Structure 1
């Protein structure tokens, strides 16, 4: 990557082109070749291009690029009282992240659109990102930002600052506040229904256990009654004579065969 190519792409002067990474560290091209060293660049890294607009740079300008020189002792002493001002790039460094617009379908959050918002360090807060999303979609109705599981993101120290919001690996959903409240109500009803079902199930099991206990308490009496009937049947056997047996046998025989 050369300074000449970047100047044509971003319409800035090739003599003033430089890059900054996510840590706001400036990277300069080679003084002679104008090529950015690959040793200074990180694969898939995010860099911002800086430089003076071509329209603002005089055609015959031969200014040196980022020249450094030792100043005389008297001059340095005279400038010691001057306040050092931060570079404009530090104050205007921007970040970006993707926010998915979701709707409630079948009791679940389903993303259907996505917006990419850019923000400054001073805007890296929950309310700041909410405002950016509302500006992007042109709708200022209340929205709730949630994680991928539908849990609302709350304003806290952890969610304040670009360190949290610039991580695109963390999926963030934007849900209309009315839909989010409806979803929470549905979840509470489901939990309440499950608790009622569990309570009813426990009640049925308890009733069955009581029936078994009552039945087991009556088992000795039932066993004693069966034993008593068995003993009575043994002691009161009926003995039939041969004529009586013959009469009974004839009573059960076939009339035709007889």
Structure 2
């Protein structure tokens, strides 16, 4: 529930929304109900409604309000008030700087309306970041609480006829919607609203798009660098395999005992089907050949870890090894020779 800070002389009280009545305020501050009213920080006078309450539509949550009125016994709510309640400005600045100094005065409003006010931040882009160059304060009615209405009010406050764009604190344009047609959206001063000249807004958007594009390029280059490093590491690990291939090709020319051929044969044996590999697959996590391409793909349907060293993320560590058909054929030839030699 919203609350408001009221003071008069040395007295200071925080009242909840339900307590903002003529009866309660007069009881606390000992003023006459026929003369009581409050003023906000901009010295705008706010009078109670005929029902004896101060409408919270005219108040700001946690705002400070000074109580005014003749001292004397309070009147009951049934006591008639001779004048109709009206909201007027004793000294109502339309535009103020961020330091709070009035820059442009506004004429006293007439008629029966309940204006609200909020701060708008004039945007400035410094090193690609959104900052506030100064602040303007606008007053608007409930009917003007739309993107179009607020934009017009800000244009009047800035005394400009050039196109302007309202954005949120991240620089995203505020568009007309059901939410932005609500009085509560514009009443909440904790929600920062920035204003850009149209040309500056387009420049800011272009700069932001360029920045996002550079980030995407950087991310792409980092990914490419990572892949290059993986291939480099894989090539270094394959050095030992290259030596094995050389030995194997030499062994294929001769009949050798199985005890000598077994270490080389083992390098090219699939860990899944236990046969000489087809479409051999190399894993960077353990730096070795692990199995047939088809066997590895079948393995990944049921598991995520390396089938040799059990490291997670196996799918990201595997690479197909091309150009080994003749070598694998030689291995199978050596196995046949070995079989013959064992007889």
Q: TM-score, normalised by structure 2?
A: 0.42
Deviations 1:62-112 (A, max 9, x none): xxxxxxxxxxxxxxxxxxxxxxxxxx74xx222111111121121122112
* SS class of match (1:196): helix
For structure 2, the residue ranges without an aligned partner over 5 or more in a row are 1-30, 59-68, 78-83, 89-110, 248-343
- How many residues in Structure 1 have an aligned counterpart in Structure 2? 168
RMSD: 3.7
Deviations 1:204-256 (A, max 9, x none): 22222223223322314447999xxxxxxxxxxxxxxxxxxxxxxxxxxxxxx
Query: Displacement, 1:165?
Result: 1.0
Q: Which of the two has greater strand per residue?
A: 2
Indicate if the aligned counterparts of 1:144 and 1:175 stay in contact, CA closer than 8 A.
yes
Larger displacement relative to structure 2 (157-166 or 210-219):
210-219
CA distance in 2, matches of 1:114, 1:222: 74
Indicate if the aligned counterparts of 1:96 and 1:119 stay in contact, CA closer than 8 A.
yes
Q: Which of the two has greater helix per residue?
A: 1
| Structure 2 residue aligned with 1:50 | 86
Query: Displacement, 1:161?
Result: 2.9
| Structure 1 residue aligned with 2:125 | 104
Q: Of the candidates 177, 181, 198, which is equivalent to residue 156 of structure 1? A: 177
Q: Of the candidates 203, 206, 225, which is equivalent to residue 204 of structure 1? A: 225
Specify the structure having the higher radius of gyration (Cα).
1
For structure 1, the residue ranges without an aligned partner over 5 or more in a row are 38-47, 53-87, 227-258
Distance 1:200 1:51, change over 3 A: closer
* SS class of match (1:111): strand
Whether 2:56 is the aligned partner of 1:22: answer yes
| Structure with bigger RCO (C-alpha 8 Å, 6+ apart) | 1
CA distance in 2, matches of 1:148, 1:36: 47
Q: Of the candidates 33, 41, 49, which is equivalent to residue 73 of structure 2? A: 33
Query: Displacement, 1:34?
Result: 5.1
Deviations 1:181-213 (A, max 9, x none): 111111111111111122122222222222322
Distance 1:100 1:36, change over 3 A: farther
Matched ranges for 1:151-230 at <5 A: 151-222=172-243
| Structure 2 residue aligned with 1:133 | 154
Deviations 1:5-36 (A, max 9, x none): 759x999xxxx9x7641258xxxx99x83569
Deviations 1:138-181 (A, max 9, x none): 01211111122222211101100312111112121111121111
